[in-house]
A and B are shown apart, each in its own frame.
Chain A
Amino acid sequence: MDEVVIGLEVHVQLNKLRTKLFCSCPLNYHHSPPNTHVCPVCLGMPGAMPVINKEAVKAAIKVAIALNAEIQPFTVFDRKNYFYPDLPRGFQISQYDRPLALGGYVTIELDGEEKRIKLKRVHMEEDPGKLSYRGSITTAKYSLIDYNRSGAPLLEIVTEPVMNSPKEARLFLNKLRMILEYLDVFDGDLEGAMRVDANISLKGGGRVEVKNISSFKGVEKALSYEVMRQKNLLQRGRIVTRETRHFDEARNITVTLRSKEEEQDYRYFPEPDLVPILTEELVKEVEGTLPEMPEEKRERFKEQYGLGDNYAKVLILDVKMADYFEDVAKYVSPKLAASWIVDVLRGELNYRGWNFLKCREVLSPEEFARLMKYFEEERITEKGVVEVIRTKLDEGGDVEDIIKKKGLFAIPKEEIVRFCKEAIEENPKAVQDYLGGKKQALNFLVGQVMKKTRGRADPGETAKMLEELLA
Chain B
Amino acid sequence: MVSVEEVYHTAELAKIEISGEEAEKFRKEFESILDYFNILDEVEEDVEPTFQVLPLRNVFREDKPGECLSQDEALKNATHKEEGYFKGPRVVE
Name A's B-contacting residues (CB within 8 A): 17-19, 23-26, 33-40, 43, 51-57, 76, 81, 83-85, 98, 131-133, 137, 140-147, 246, 257-258, 261, 265, 267, 270, 272, 274-278, 281-282
Contacts and interface: CB of A to CB of B under 8 A. Distances in A.
Contacts of B1: none
B13 interface: yes
Nearest to B77: A45
Contact of B71 (A36, A54, A282): A36
B88 A85 contact: yes
B37 interface: no
A18 B64 contact: yes
B51 A76 contact: yes
Interface in B71-93: 71, 74-75, 80, 82-93
Interface stretch (B18-26, B27-35, B39-47, B53-61): B53-61
A143 B88 contact: yes
Nearest to A245: B93
B85 A34 contact: yes
A127 B85 CA distance: 18
Interface of B: 13, 15, 51-52, 54, 56-71, 74-75, 80, 82-93
Given A35-B74, A37-B68, A276-B51, 11 more contacts: A24-B65, A53-B60, A142-B90, A143-B89, A145-B87, A145-B88, A147-B86, A246-B93, A270-B51, A270-B52, A274-B52
Given A18-B64, A54-B63, A85 B91 contact: yes
A278 B84 contact: no
Nearest to B9: A265
A277 B61 CA distance: 13
A43 B69 CA distance: 10
A282 to B, nearest CB: 8
Given A35-B74, A52-B59, A270-B51, A145 B86 contact: yes
B43 to A, nearest CB: 17
Contact of B90 (A54, A133, A147, A272): A133
15 contacts: A26-B68, A33-B71, A34-B71, A36-B74, A51-B61, A133-B90, A140-B90, A145-B86, A145-B88, A146-B86, A270-B52, A275-B56, A276-B57, A278-B58, A281-B58
The B interface, classified by DSSP as helix, strand, loop or mixed, is loop
Contact of A142 (B15, B59, B67, B88): B88
Contact of A53 (B54, B61, B67, B74): B61
User: Which 10 A-B residue pairs are closest in the complex by CB-CB distance?
Assistant: A85-B88, A24-B66, A54-B60, A144-B85, A55-B63, A26-B65, A145-B86, A51-B61, A275-B56, A34-B84
A251 to B, nearest CB: 14
B85 to A, nearest CB: 4
A141 B68 CA distance: 30
B57 A277 contact: yes
A143 B68 contact: no
A141 B90 contact: yes
B52 A19 contact: no
A335 to B, nearest CB: 41
Nearest to A56: B63
B66 A25 contact: yes
A258 B85 contact: no
B6 to A, nearest CB: 11
A43 B71 CA distance: 12
A17 B60 contact: no
A333 to B, nearest CB: 41
Given A140-B90, A258-B92, A275 B68 contact: no
A25 B93 contact: no
A19 B88 contact: no
Given A39-B67, A144-B82, A270-B51, A81 B13 contact: yes
A227 B27 CA distance: 45
Contacts of B15: 83
A19 B64 contact: yes
Contacts of B82: 144
A367 B48 CA distance: 62
A24 B65 CA distance: 5
A43 B81 CA distance: 14
A277 B86 contact: no
A39 B69 CA distance: 5
Contacts of A144: 82-83, 85-88
Given A19-B66, A35-B85, A84-B91, A43 B61 contact: no
Nearest to A28: B65
B84 to A, nearest CB: 4
B59 A275 contact: yes
B93 A257 contact: yes
Contact of B60 (A43, A52, A140, A143): A52
A332 B26 CA distance: 79
Contacts of B68: 25-26, 36-39
A40 B84 CA distance: 16
Given A24-B61, A24-B64, A35 B13 contact: no
A142 to B, nearest CB: 5
